[in-house]
Every structure is written in structure tokens, then in C-alpha cells.
A and B are shown apart, each in its own frame.
Chain A
């Protein structure tokens, strides 16, 4: 398939371009922050660093050299995986991200799995329950999609920790601690996925392949799980890249509410402390993951569904 190879090369080139452009944007964002960058590296305006210390930092970080040189050095460092030094944590940004990545990934994967289970279960129930169940199902999805994470977290803590006392209100190590944060992230996502699936459920239920299956004498349960749901899930699967992005955004809030360690909480405290190196480092790593993930989804889509090959450039 020479067409596919060309397309793949173009897409990979596009990803490289996006990564270069995001690095450039963050570099200039760093320069836009008011105040002396040397002072920021030494701990912000409160550090009361002497002129000699500032001068030393400037020399060390190359801040006294022309902007173009600084920019190229910055890009060179990024390529070798050096994201700079975080002044608030007193360690390299790459190390700090490595320490926090696992916790956030665990949370995101649990939430994504839970969201799919919730969305499919609700769809299955409301398809077979008649008009009332259909209305309740779409109402639930709507409210779920409209719930802000921080409020849902509060309500879940009230319900499961304060009233029932079965789950810890702050995240403790171990599987029990991940339940409430994952549920908080999963409910709004399930609402979105459910809404997308519901649109295509209707068309799928009227499709010839469902009629054929019914004529073959397949049971309604089997028809739903084997044909209708699979068809309806395609557009929702295509949203995986977007879902990942929304999970990372949500993790910032959820990790803060549950005092759970992770990338989101580090990002938030870095924003509060204006630790610009740490913020740009985390943002860049997430952008990298997000872009690569979108590429993987696109490639998978193209390999699985031959129809997209005709449309895509």
C-alpha cells in the first residue's frame, strides 16, 4: 500500500511539526513571564538573591546570550530529554515528572475503563427498557456530562466517606484509594461517551444488518452486544484521544480534591508557585503523549476501517 505509507509519513511529519511548534510556544511563554528569569530560577522574587548569585545563574543558564542561541540550546536540551531544573522541587523536571507519571496513568486508565463500563451498561439498559428507560438514560447522561469534577468529588466524599464510611475521603495508597478519584473522573466521561453512542445507537437499530440478524433468529440481547453496540461504539472509540485529554485536565482537579499525588497535582502547585520550568515541562510531556496518542488512534482507525482510506488525504 504505497498510499498508506505516504500518508503515514505525512502524519508522522505532522506530529514532529506539532511537537516543535509546542516547544517553541512554551519557550516564548517562558520569556513572557514578567520578572527576571534568573531570579525565578533562584526561587522567585522572595529569594532575595544577591547580584553575584544572579550573575552566576545567568551565566550557567546562558541567559546572557542572544535569544536565538538560547532558543537553539533549549531545543537541543529538549531533544536529549533535559527539561530543565524545577526551582520549587530542587530537582530536574524530567525526574519530577517520572516520579508522578505512574500515579496519574493508573488513575486515568481506571477511569477510562470505568467510564466505558458505565456508558455501555447504561446504553444496554435504556435500549431494552422501553421509552421511559430511554428518557431516563439520556437524562442521566446529560446530567453526568454537565457535572463539574470538583463538585462530583465533593458529593461522592459526602456519600461514601462521611455518610456510609466505606471509602477513604483522601487518597490512601492501595486500590481502595483510587476508587473515588477514578469514579469522579469516569462519570462525566461516561456521560459524553454515552451521548455520542446514543446518536449512533438509533441509526444502528434501524440498519439492515440488525434486521438480518433478527430474521436469522438471534436473541435481542445478542443483537445488542454483537451488532448494535459495536456499531455505536465506533465514533466513541474515535474520541479516545479527546478522552485522554479530558482525563488529564480532570486529573488536575481530582488529584487536588483528593490530595492524591500525580502529574495534575504537581502541575497545579507549579502554577500556584509560578515554577515556569516545571509547568512547561509537564505541559510539553502531556502534549507529546496526546499527539502520539492521536496518531495511534488515526492509524488504527485507518487499518481497521477501510472506508476512511478513501476519505483521508
Chain B
């Protein structure tokens, strides 16, 4: 019943040995990467192969995740969907963080009026809760994979920008930056040699944590019919296709969703792990 002992264990977990959860998350990540790069290794079949006689098969040894309304193997489709889902998620994260880095650097290093302007802009974007900003973007561009990806990137950017700005500010007031300034180094030198490398670690953590959320958001948009469209083997689109059959054929929606949960949870665990180690190292 001693809280002290438990938090001691928490501290130890901040060492470099991975915890059980981190090891599991790493395993999930490796599997996802294999599925994304060489899907044939995990599922040799064709994700689009239709077989009328095998429609709506429950999970069995032949079809571990069952089959869908056209007799396509769901395990194969989940594995082959990893590439599309992860690529969209990664692209959305990259857009969000890229945009946020520009805003954060401008605000953190620029003159006061620029900081003021950028901070106000971020504040305004903050007034739109995430998904609403994405929907506002989609109504202008029309639905589709690309526009839903950009929409998610745009919607996540304000949050990242805030964190990056404060990181940049903290670094810019550090002693070694002061020293570089005293030595007469130019602005560009200071940004590229001192500020960016110090912010990179934080960016990496943000990207890992954000990837999980981005996968959820993008698949939510596909589920709502605003992103990837069936028969594409994208996880959100697969869930949307299975929606009609929820009551009788649960496996059509259950397993693609499980893949999303696994990807998002693994990204969160790994991001947290890196964050903890960064903190204890600095």
C-alpha cells in the first residue's frame, strides 16, 4: 500500500530498458511496418479477390478474421490496408507538424509583432475544435483521400504549433544560444545549428504520438464517407462497408477496428517512452 514504492518503480521505468508495454508496442509497430512494406509475407492472398461462394464466412482456420460480403478474406484486407492507412496517417502528421514548425519558429524567434500575429492566428484556429476545422476544409475542397489527409493535418497543426513555440522560446533563451549570439553567429546559424536540433527531439515525440491520433481521425473521416472509398482496403473504409452488416456479421467491422486501436495504442506507448527517456536524459 505504499505509494512511494510504486512511484519508485515508475522512475525505474524511465531507464533505457523497455517496459512490457513498450516491448509489445514495438512488436505491433514491426508487424505494421512489415504489413505496410511487404504485405505478401503476412497475407499471401489477393485483398480484392472476390469469391461469391465464400461470402460472410465467420472467423475460422481458413479465414482467421472471416470474410466479407464478396467473400474477400478480411485478414488479407487488414494486412494490405496497413500501407494505405499508415501512409495517410503519416502524411497528415507530417503536414500538421511541418506547418506547426514554420509557425512555431516564426513565433519563437521572430520579432515581437510576428510572435503576436502568429500566436493570434494559432489562437483563432484553436477556436475550431479539431474535427470541425477538418470538416470546414472538406466542404471547401470536396471529399476524397487527399483532402481528408490535408484536413486532418491542418486540424492538428494549431496544437503542435503551441508546443513547438514554447520549445523554441525555451531553447532560444538557453545559455548556449546566448553564447553563440555573443560569439557573433548569425540568425540562420543559430536556428539551424542550435535551435532546430534541440527542438527535433520534441518534434519526434510529437510525431509519434500524433501518428496514432492521425490514423484514428483519417479513418473516422473515411468511415463517414469523406475520405477513402470502398473497395479500397483502407481500415476506415472497411469499417464503413461493414456497417450495414453489424448485427449479423460482426467480424467485418470488429477486426479492421482492432487494427486501428493497435496502431494508435502502439504509437502512444512508444511516443510516451521516448518522451520519458528524453526528459530523464536532459
Contact = CB atoms under 8 A, between A and B. Distances in A.
Contacts of A253: 131, 220, 223-224
A202 B10 contact: yes
Interface in B124-160: 124, 127-132, 135-136, 138-140, 142-143
Contacts of A160: none
A202 B269 CA distance: 19
Contact of A148 (B1, B124, B254, B260): B260
B265 A142 contact: yes
Interface of A: 14, 17-19, 21-22, 25-26, 29, 32-34, 127-128, 130-131, 134, 139, 142-143, 145-151, 154-155, 157-158, 162, 169, 202, 205-206, 210, 220, 244-246, 248-250, 252-253, 256-257, 267-268, 270-272, 274, 276, 279-280, 282-283, 286-287, 290-291
Interface string B1-45: 101101101100000000001000000000000000000000000
A248 B120 CA distance: 23
10 closest Cβ pairs, A-B complex:
A245-B129, A151-B257, A249-B131, A205-B3, A146-B264, A146-B265, A21-B124, A287-B127, A148-B216, A202-B7
Interface of B: 1, 3-4, 6-7, 9-10, 21, 120, 123-124, 127-132, 135-136, 138-140, 142-143, 212, 216, 219-220, 223-226, 236, 239, 243, 246-247, 250, 253-254, 257-258, 260-261, 264-265, 268-269
Please classify the interface of chain B as helix (H, G, I), strand (E, B), loop, or mixed, using the class held by over half of its residues: helix
B120 A17 contact: yes
A271 B268 contact: no
Contacts, number: 151
Contacts of A257: 243
Given A248-B132, A252-B131, A146 B212 contact: yes
A149 to B, nearest CB: 7
Given A252-B131, A271-B135, A271-B139, A154 B254 contact: yes
